[in-house]
Chains A and B, each alone.
Chain A
Amino acid sequence: MSEQKVLSARLFGPLAVLVENSKARWTAIGAILILMAIGPFIFGQYATVIMTNALLYVVLALGLNIVVGYAGLLDLGYAAFFAIGAYTVGILTQEFGVNFWLTLPVAVLAAAIGGIIIGGPTLRLRSDYLAIVTLGFGEIVRLSARNLDITGKASGISGIEQPYLFGWHIAGYLDFYYVFCVLAILAVFVSVRLANSRLGRAWLYVRHDEDVAEAMGINRVRVKLAAYVIGAIFGSVGGAFFAANLGAISPESFSFTQSVLILMAVILGGMGKIPGVILGALIIILGPELLRDLGPLRLLVFAVGLLLIMLFRPSGIWPGKGAQK
């Protein structure tokens, strides 16, 4: 047992028990769900609004985790899909008066098409190229949003209506908190199901050895494209609800920094592991709240953290079974 393993066992021993023991795990999940349900009444409005943002990041990070953690592809322009979802909702509800719930499938479709256009040609090449092409794609989407009339140029779109669901007007901070709770739980559920599916095993294989996977009859381009498109859909759905929650969107919400923050959430906690990714998203959002004085140093601290993680603990903060080599 390496020194690092001993240390992590000591630090995370109780947590590891939770992950491995199924009865303890269900108890923990139940406790978390109850805490999520009654949380707003204990911690008050401010904490609830922050938590809503954190839950949005959980959804986005879980989506990006499918691309980075499951399929092992680096995506540096994930905010593009987040933007596509937000702008689809913004444009359709504002300019065309379409009902919010009807815009959701359109947002999903738009993200899937975007994913296929970018991923289709690039994923045939070295996977490294995807990183830089997605970086360019992120900028294309942001600059297009800035320059087009339909996206409201630099000032963006405002006054996006808050949706009704069977007579329930989702308008207050509490309403959105619960909507994002449901989204996050849904995202976790889909991630778990995907990881244990045939496609999930194909991703695992491709991530570890592309050539052998191909020799085993896995179509690596198609499998990677599936990961990229599913991740895109997660981002787009997150963006759609983000637009409905804030009521106003502008191009600067979808900058390179946004993509990087989501990526950091995935890597800091531990790529490919759902509890790790959730932990990462919480660190990214709650960390600056706890250390308010950080101010402009926030990104620097995260960046140094990212570098240290990569050099000394590449499998992330949360220990995973068999993740360390």
Chain B
Amino acid sequence: MSVFEIIMHQLVNGLVLGSFYALVALGYTMIFGVIKLLNFAHGDLYMIGGFTGFIILSAISSVVGGDWFGIFIAMFLSMIAVGCLGVVIQRIAYQPMLAAPRLSILITALAVSLVLQNAVLALTGGQYTAFSTDIGFGGVNIGSLFITYNQMVLVGTASILMIALQVFVTRTQYGRAMRAVAIDKDMCELMGINVPAIIGVTFFIGSALAAAAGTMAGAYYGSVWYFMGFLVGLKAFTAAVIGGIGSIPGAMLGGLILGLLEAFGTQIPGIGSEWKDVFTFVVLILVLVFKPTGLLGKSEQERM
């Protein structure tokens, strides 16, 4: 392969990875925006989304087929289910902790993550579950570059979801309320905004986006397992920090940058695929050291 081909090939890989990271990072950043919580359970919602999508697709594939059409239906239902789960988690576990010290709510989030992970571990016995679909491996050749249809559908779907989110946040009343809550919760309450409802909506959307990514990842890689959310969660957080935590366009940009960094990073001599994850965490630590506000984030002054 020529250098140009390698670059194009990794560009496609990076875009696919970046789409997953961006979708999960969006939820991280939105939830951080409204309640200033690093939701450790977010990566696990991606995992639950993958499993839910798998279960729904298994149930309906005899009617709608196991092609992308079926996957979209499964993905849509999985988004609704996991979105509701996200709201339930917020109501049960996080709502009572909002006034408690920071450390308590962080540990609670960790506990939720562990409960979700280990519940699925107990149910599946820790085995990979094959996510069988009929999506095949077809694609088109552009020059000597081969791009599968799956990659195109995946990146396309992720883009549509992100554009829809952007429209929702900037053009609708709920989106405006969400941005207002992120800026000043107490003032929002005085202005008659139903803050708990907005927080609920935020959790719903964030969790649903993670579920969309989980279902697509399951279908694309062909399997789901209980630990799949751990690394993706960590990397999505890295993506959110790169873009500037709290910033929605930042999460999208951060996801893409991280996906591309990872794809190209593994091509650097000496950094093989076994060092891929180490590479990501080193990027995270470097960003936090040199540009903690991220690319699009605003510098945050702690208010007294």
Contact = CB atoms under 8 A, between A and B. Distances in A.
Interface in B10-30: none
B97 A144 contact: no
B106 A211 contact: no
A132 B234 contact: yes
B113 to A, nearest CB: 8
A73 B102 CA distance: 9
B100 A307 contact: no
B285 interface: yes
Contact of A307 (B112, B126, B238): B112
Interface string A289-323: 00000001101101110110011001000000000
A300 B119 contact: yes
Nearest to B303: A211
Contact of B121 (A74, A143, A260, A296): A296
Interface stretch (A22-30, A121-129, A170-178, A241-249): A121-129
Given A147-B275, A297-B122, A314-B100, A136 B281 contact: yes
Interface string B31-72: 000000010100000000000000000000000000000000
Interface residues of B, number: 46
Contact of A137 (B92, B281, B289): B281
Nearest to B280: A136
Contacts of A260: 110, 114
A129 B122 CA distance: 30
Nearest to B126: A296
Nearest to B272: A147
B169 interface: no
B157 interface: no
B111 A303 contact: yes
A146 B276 CA distance: 13
SS class, residues of chain B in contact with chain A? helix
Contact of A140 (B230, B282, B304): B282
Given A74-B103, A143-B275, A310-B97, A136 B111 contact: no
B209 to A, nearest CB: 19
Contact of A128 (B102, B104, B111, B282): B102
Contacts of B230: 256
B207 to A, nearest CB: 18
B38 A125 contact: no
Contacts of B122: 296-297, 300
Given A300-B122, A304-B115, A307-B115, A136 B285 contact: yes
B159 interface: no
Q: Which of B40, B92, B103, B302 has the most CB of A within 10 A?
A: B103
A211 B301 CA distance: 12
B115 to A, nearest CB: 5
B274 interface: yes
Given A136-B234, A297-B122, A306 B277 contact: no
A118 interface: yes
B292 A125 contact: yes
Contact of A131 (B106, B126, B304): B106
A139 B288 CA distance: 17
B262 to A, nearest CB: 14
A107 B103 CA distance: 29
Contacts of A302: 114
Interface of A: 68, 72-74, 76, 118, 121-122, 125-129, 131-133, 135-137, 139-140, 143-144, 146-147, 211, 256, 260, 263, 267, 296-297, 299-300, 302-304, 306-307, 310-311, 314
Given A132-B234, A140-B281, A143-B278, 7 more contacts: A131-B106, A136-B280, A139-B234, A263-B110, A296-B125, A303-B118, A307-B93
